[in-house]
Amino acid sequence: MLYFDSSALIKFYIQEKGSEEVGRNLQDEKEASRPVFTSVLTFAEIHCALARRAKDRSLSLAHFIRARGTFDSDWVSGLSTVDLGPGVLSIIRNTIDQFQLRGADMVHLASAMWLRDAGVVTRGENQIIFISSDKLLAKAAVGCGLKVFNPEGTQ
Q: What is the pLDDT of residues 9-56, one digit of tens each?
A: 999 999 999 999 999 999 999 999 899 999 999 999 999 999 999 999
Question: Residue 90: is its pLDDT beyond 70?
Answer: yes
Question: Residue 143: is its pLDDT beyond 90?
Answer: yes
Q: Which residues of 43-78 are buried (b: 16+ CB within 10 A; e: fewer)?
A: bebbeebbeebbeeeebeeebbeebbeebeebbeee
Q: What percent of the chain has pLDDT over 90?
A: 87
Largest alpha-carbon pair distance within the chain? 46
Q: 2 φ, ψ to 5°?
A: -110, 140
With bands split at pLDDT 50, 70 and 90, how would you rate the model's confidence at 68? Answer: very high
DSSP string, 73-132: HHHHHT-EEE---HHHHHHHHHHGGGS---HHHHHHHHHHHHHHHTT-PPTT----EEE-
pLDDT of residue 121: 64
For the residues 93-110, what does the mean pLDDT come to? 95
CATH fold for domain 2-149: Rossmann fold (3.40.50)
Q: What percent of the chain has pLDDT over 70?
A: 95
Whole-angstrom distance, CA of residue 113 vs CA of residue 50: 27
Q: 40 φ, ψ to 5°?
A: -60, -25
Please, is 102 exposed, middle or buried when counting C-beta atoms within 10 Å of its C-beta (0-12, 13-18, 19+)? exposed
Q: What is the pTM of this model?
A: 0.92
Whole-angstrom distance, CA of residue 132 vs CA of residue 136: 10
Query: Could you state, in order of their start, the residue ranges of all structural domains in the chain?
Result: 2-149
Residue type, 59: L
